[in-house]
């Protein structure tokens, strides 16, 4: 292998590594941003994610899939959201084993403000034009397949 080709290969590897580092860096910052927003709403990240995932109502089991955590964790999250009157537990009519988490009117108001706050402060929204956002979305979609 010639020296020139070797160099090109090294450049490629470095670019891949640099992009990976930046991906982690960007999402880490967005994660911290999310955490700060959660703090200002007096919610843990898990509680906020649950609220955002709750369009209307959903089985608790369903939520553990969305949150990518064990079902046992959802119990505590639901307890604390219920204590804040942001969600309430309902027994499913069709399967009495299933408990649905339903968002309350207060929870719906919080959810909406939370979503707005997150999107408004998102670097994706602040730093990129609409066209750049589309390009980024397409590239990420490729990575996601």
Strand partners for 59: 100
Q: Which does 75 bind (CB under 5 to 8 A by kind): a second copy, DNA, none?
A: DNA
Question: Both tokens of residue 142?
Answer: 């490729």
| Binds a second copy by CB under 8 A, chosen from 6, 7, 17, 113 | 17
Contacts with DNA by CB under 7 A: the residue count is 26
Nearer to DNA, 41 or 128 (CB): 41
Q: What angle do CA 42, 34, 52 make, to 5 degrees?
A: 75
CA proximity to 104, closest of 85, 91, 83, 89? 85
The reply on whether position 27 binds DNA by CB under 7 A is no
Task: Please choose, out of 6-14, 19-27, 68-76, 109-117, the segment that lies near DNA by the rule CB under 7 A.
Answer: 68-76
- SS3 percent helix, strand, coil of the chain, rounded to 5, is 70, 10, 20
Residue 91 phi/psi, 5-degree rounding, is -85, 130
Q: Out of a second copy, DNA, none, which partner does residue 44 contact, by CB within 5 to 8 A per kind?
A: DNA
* Residue whose CB is less far from DNA, 72 or 129: 72
């Amino acid at each position: 292998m010639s020296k020139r080709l070797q160099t090109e290969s090294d450049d490629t590897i470095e670019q891949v590594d640099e992009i990976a580092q930046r991906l982690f860096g960007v999402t880490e910052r967005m994660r911290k941003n999310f955490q700060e927003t959660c703090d200002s709403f007096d919610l843990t990240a898990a509680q906020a994610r649950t609220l955002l995932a709750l369009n209307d109502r959903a089985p608790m089991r369903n939520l553990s899939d969305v949150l990518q955590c064990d079902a046992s964790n959802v119990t505590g999250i639901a307890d604390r959201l219920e204590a804040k009157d942001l969600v309430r537990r309902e027994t499913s009519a069709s399967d009495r084993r299933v408990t649905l988490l339903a968002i309350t009117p207060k929870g719906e108001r919080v959810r909406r403000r939370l979503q707005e706050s997150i999107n408004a402060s998102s670097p994706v929204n602040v730093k990129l034009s609409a066209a750049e956002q589309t390009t980024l979305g397409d590239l990420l979609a490729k990575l996601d397949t």
